[in-house]
């Protein structure tokens, strides 16, 4: 029986990956926090499925040592995410230094494959389309910089120790257990959604089951060692088309209200800067507005060629399944 460790396993991606490993008969341990309601709900589902939980942070050596015992595959997903008013040092401690210690612990434990979950954010703001693994990286904010630094750390560790690791860069992951797109579904369902900008910017989504496929291929394919793979859906989708699909699945009218992008961006910057000195989470901030201006498309040819990755879910199917899960959980 394969023993798998998943850091950040009470999160959206990690919990789905853990449940898939359990369904396949693997022994699964999760090192993660239960700080939010969503994490606590996921933790309960994991325990019911027979996943062992080690509650703690990847920055805690004792918890890492406990979770690593007997493990053969590590999926390192835990990370400090973009939120307002988090000091830069937290990102370096969690995204880089904790990754360094986890790599060392995995090597000492004789782990056979280490999969590091990076981010398309490591490439920086809006790379030329379609971006691939060899596209230039130009990270700008602290999250992007630390995710890119962790990638470089992993690759150097692989070269220095011939340690079998792979790196995956997820595109915009969505599906059951995701809360990030919940507000989009809710506002469309209530008829209160307003498009900011023209909606012609592209988002490259990947449904969670396809993302899990990418992780598992990166963890088992011999040729994946020392490689970076972008995992995304078959095609990007314009935001206006995504909104249309959501409205169609919800069986509501397509939203028609639009607001100009520039004034909203300026307002978000002002509100965020005013809230920062007081440690207040702003009601609107730059990253939230970025959803309406980010414009991404990716080439998944490398994952196809080397891993045999084949995305199975189109946006229509993925949105429908996500909506059904939201309704089952009483979230929509």
pLDDT tens for 254-296 read 998 888 877 767 766 666 667 767 666 666 666 677 787 889 9
What pLDDT, on the 0 to 100 scale, is given for residue 84? 57
Separation between Cα atoms, residue 133 and residue 224, nearest integer Å: 13
How many of the other CB atoms lie within 10 Å of CB of 65?
13
Q: What is the bridge-based pairing of β-strands 52-55 and 195-196?
A: unpaired
The SS3 of residue 266 is helix
- What interhelical angle do 12-23 and 208-220 show, nearest 10? 60
What pTM was estimated for this model as a whole? 0.93
The SS3 of residue 13 is helix
What pLDDT, on the 0 to 100 scale, is given for residue 126? 67
Name all domains of the chain by residue range, CATH numbers in brackets.
3-179+205-238+297-316 (3.40.50.720)
What pLDDT, on the 0 to 100 scale, is given for residue 86? 77
Q: Give the chain's end-to-end CA distance (angstroms, integer).
A: 39
Separation between Cα atoms, residue 122 and residue 146, nearest integer Å: 8
Per the listing, tokens 């979770």 go with 67
State which residues of the chain have pLDDT below 50.
Answer: none
Give the tokens for residue 84. 């307002």
What pLDDT, on the 0 to 100 scale, is given for residue 297? 96
CA distances from 126 to 135, 191, 239 (A): 11, 30, 15
> Strand (E) positions, 109-239?
113-117, 165-170, 172-174, 195-196, 202-203, 205-207, 228-231, 237-238
Burial 210-243 (b: 16+ CB within 10 A, else e): bbbbbbbbbbebeebeebbbbbbbbebbebbebb
What pLDDT, on the 0 to 100 scale, is given for residue 260? 80
CA distances from 144 to 79, 158, 248, 321 (A): 11, 21, 34, 30
What pLDDT, on the 0 to 100 scale, is given for residue 15? 98
In tens, the pLDDT along 23-72 reads 999 999 999 999 999 999 999 999 999 999 999 999 999 999 999 999 99
């Amino acid at each position: 029986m394969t023993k798998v460790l998943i850091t950040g396993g009470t999160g959206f991606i990690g919990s789905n990956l853990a449940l898939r490993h359990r369904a396949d008969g693997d022994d699964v341990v999760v090192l993660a926090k239960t700080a939010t309601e969503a994490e606590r709900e996921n933790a309960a589902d994991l325990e019911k499925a027979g996943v062992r939980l080690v509650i703690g942070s990847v920055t805690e050596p004792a918890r890492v040592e406990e979770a690593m015992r007997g493990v053969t595959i590590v999926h390192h997903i835990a990370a400090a995410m973009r939120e307002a008013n988090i000091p830069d040092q937290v990102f370096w401690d969690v995204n880089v230094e904790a990754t360094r210690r986890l790599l060392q612990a995995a090597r000492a434990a004789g782990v056979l494959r280490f999969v590091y979950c990076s981010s398309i954010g490591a490439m920086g703001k809006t790379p030329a389309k379609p971006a691939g693994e060899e596209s230039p990286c130009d990270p700008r904010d602290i999250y992007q910089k630390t995710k890119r630094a962790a990638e470089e750390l992993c690759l150097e560790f692989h070269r220095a120790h011939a340690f079998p690791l792979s790196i995956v860069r997820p595109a915009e992951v969505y599906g059951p257990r995701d809360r990030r797109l919940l507000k989009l579904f809710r506002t469309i369902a209530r008829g209160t959604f307003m498009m900011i900008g023209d909606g012609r910017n592209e988002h490259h989504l990947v449904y969670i089951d396809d993302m899990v496929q990418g992780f598992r291929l990166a963890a088992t394919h011999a040729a994946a060692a020392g490689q970076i793979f972008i995992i995304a859906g078959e095609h990007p989708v314009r935001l206006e088309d995504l909104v249309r699909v959501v409205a169609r699945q919800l069986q509501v009218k397509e939203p028609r209200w639009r607001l100009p992008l520039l004034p909203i961006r300026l307002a978000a910057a002002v509100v965020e800067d005013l809230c920062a000195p007081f440690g207040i989470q702003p009601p609107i901030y730059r990253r939230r507005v970025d959803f309406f201006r980010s414009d991404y498309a990716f080439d998944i040819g490398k994952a196809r060629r080397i891993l045999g990755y084949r995305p199975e879910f189109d946006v229509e199917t993925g949105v429908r399944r996500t909506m059904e899960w939201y309704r089952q959980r009483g979230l929509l």
